A and B are shown apart, each in its own frame.
Chain A
């Protein structure tokens, strides 16, 4: 029987946090080990910005300004993870999207044909209601392929350094 690569496409969700860096290192390690294609996605949380505008915490011009800044942040971050992958001889595609974060990640996972979604540690959730606002939690619950939530800094750092 021919062996089939179980992880042809890995989708990495990054949000600029420290735990995203750890997830990136794990994703690069796995892509290299399995010979997988790797794509990183960053989503500008347009939904949150619109909520803050609606609540009159932001004025319109300010919301647009923050959106632009976050988009720039996202581009910088994606460049960073791409370089991190290239440094280990792994090709990594990047994509920057805007919208409701978990919805965009779910759509991207579908379109990419992801065999695995990798993301950083989930944020603290104080109540079930809060979990609806926690993007990582939503991805974990709703994506239709396996999801890996990465933790264990020391172990991952060691594996990555040895790669």
Chain B
């Protein structure tokens, strides 16, 4: 599976305005719901927040992967947001998160959902990946960075 099969250009934002955890999830979910008709923003927001309440998905080194299952969604959907200022996301290392990969999928797409999370975790480990995303500046560039990695570039 390729991440880029699941990421639409209109679901990438490189200048998030949110200042805290709730706001950033709201901003990402809003972007996602505008790109599809199968499910409203409130349902997705609730699913993601319920998962966050079980434990933060803020990892180390400025990355967060908020995710949830939601059977109202038609298939795996991925949204990417980048904050220049950084946002407190109760991350594992206690530091602000700058890059957010929000993922939502129905139960019937659990396999691709888990594989997509694993692929992102693998990409995070690639030297320069995080830095390149943060300075990407626009959605096209973000997609290009991910595509290049997926195509072995």
Partner-B contacts on A (CB < 8 A): 15-17, 45, 48-49, 51-52, 55-57, 59, 61-62, 65-66, 69-70, 72-73, 123-126, 130, 133
A125: B residues at CB distance < 8 A:
152
Q: Do residues B114 and A52 form an inter-chain contact, with CB atoms below 8 A?
A: yes
Q: Which of A56, A70, A72, A124 contacts B114 (CB 8 A)?
A: A70
Q: Closest B residue to A18 by CB, please name it.
A: B1
Roughly how many angstroms separate A45 CA and B111 CA in the complex, as a whole number?
A: 9
Q: Do residues A126 and B117 form an inter-chain contact, with CB atoms below 8 A?
A: no
Question: Any chain A CB within 8 A of the CB of B118?
Answer: yes
B36: A residues at CB distance < 8 A:
none
Minimum Cβ distance to chain A for residue B67 (Å): 8
Minimum Cβ distance to chain B for residue A103 (Å): 17
Q: Do residues A57 and B117 form an inter-chain contact, with CB atoms below 8 A?
A: yes
Q: Do residues A16 and B54 form an inter-chain contact, with CB atoms below 8 A?
A: no
Q: Which of B1, B51, B122 contacts A62 (CB 8 A)?
A: B51
A126: B residues at CB distance < 8 A:
149-150, 152
7 A–B contact pairs at CB < 8 A? A52-B117, A52-B121, A56-B92, A57-B59, A69-B69, A72-B107, A123-B1
Q: Closest A residue to B123 by CB, please name it.
A: A126
Minimum Cβ distance to chain B for residue A50 (Å): 11
B110: A residues at CB distance < 8 A:
66, 69-70, 73
Question: Any chain A CB within 8 A of the CB of B77?
Answer: no
Q: Closest B residue to A66 by CB, please name it.
A: B110
Q: Which of A56, A70, A73, A124 contacts B55 (CB 8 A)?
A: A56
A56: B residues at CB distance < 8 A:
55, 59, 92
Q: Do residues A59 and B55 form an inter-chain contact, with CB atoms below 8 A?
A: yes
Question: Any chain A CB within 8 A of the CB of B65?
Answer: yes
B54: A residues at CB distance < 8 A:
59, 61-62
Interface string of B84-114 (1 = CB under 8 A from A): 0000000010000000000000011011011
Q: Closest A residue to B56 by CB, please name it.
A: A56
A52: B residues at CB distance < 8 A:
114, 117-118, 121
Q: Closest A residue to B105 by CB, please name it.
A: A69
Interface string of B23-64 (1 = CB under 8 A from A): 000000000000000000000000000010011010100000
Minimum Cβ distance to chain B for residue A3 (Å): 42
Q: Do residues B122 and A130 form an inter-chain contact, with CB atoms below 8 A?
A: yes
B55: A residues at CB distance < 8 A:
56, 59
Minimum Cβ distance to chain B for residue A44 (Å): 9
Contacts A49-B114, A57-B121: A69 and B151 contacting too (C-beta < 8 A)? Answer: no
Interface string of B120-153 (1 = CB under 8 A from A): 0110000000000000000000000000011110
A17: B residues at CB distance < 8 A:
1
B92: A residues at CB distance < 8 A:
56
Minimum Cβ distance to chain B for residue A7 (Å): 29
B57: A residues at CB distance < 8 A:
57
